[in-house]
Amino acid sequence: MPGFRMLYSVTVLLLATLSTLFAPSLGKSTAAPLAAQPAADQMQPAPKNPSPGPPQKQKLPQENFLNPATLIYKLPNQIHWTSDAMGAKTAVLLGDPSKPGLYIMLVKWTPHHMSHPHWHPNNRYITVISGTWWVGTGTKYDPNRTVPMPAGSFVTHFAKHVHYDGAKDEECELEIVGEGPATATPAEEK
């Protein structure tokens, strides 16, 4: 069995490398390569008497239980976050919100930042992961008339209906699932 494990490890490493090289040119999901790689501080030390051949990266014990042809995953430190001018940080987990099709993204609203009244062309399904998310409806921006949605809440933003939302005194993190393109059309009445 040691030879099988080595062959399996080399195959997984080769597939992960190839998927990393070719995935960007395919324009598909932004998900991790076939096998997630542990951070350097999570790697196990090399055995004292290594077997002949090129050095092999040691896997975490739990990685040996997962079939890379069955699932892919990203650990929190592998998720790429970007910031925008409204005080939100976003990370796309699946798809491309700017194109037609399913997308899943994470949004972190930093304290004391909110969007202004706007609408989206398609329904959006939002789960509050942490913190309190404040939501309001209508074309008049009034943070005092927003309603708190604590962690664990589920909200549906219906297509073409005006709303605004964000964070007050604490950061909140959301998971948003929707159908692209995910444009936002301003609808504030001044």
Given a contact cutoff of 8 angstroms between Cβ atoms, the answer to whether 105 and 97 are in contact is yes
Indicate whether 166 and 83 sit together in one domain: yes
Query: Quick check: helix, strand or coil at residue 113?
Result: strand
Q: Which domain holds residue 62?
A: 2-74
Q: Which tokens go with 98?
A: 């700017």
Q: Angle at CA 169, nearest 5°, toward 168 and 170?
A: 100
pLDDT tens for 5-29 read 433 343 333 334 334 433 443 344 4
First vs last C-alpha separation in the chain: 71
Domain boundary among 24, 44, 74: 74
Amino acid at 93: L
CA separation for the pair 179, 95 (Å, rounded): 9
Domain boundary among 74, 109, 137: 74
Indicate whether 62 and 131 sit together in one domain: no
pLDDT tens for 83-111 read 998 889 999 999 999 999 999 999 999 99
Indicate whether 40 and 8 sit together in one domain: yes
Residues of the chain predicted below pLDDT 70 = 1-63
pTM: 0.67
State the total domains in the chain.
2
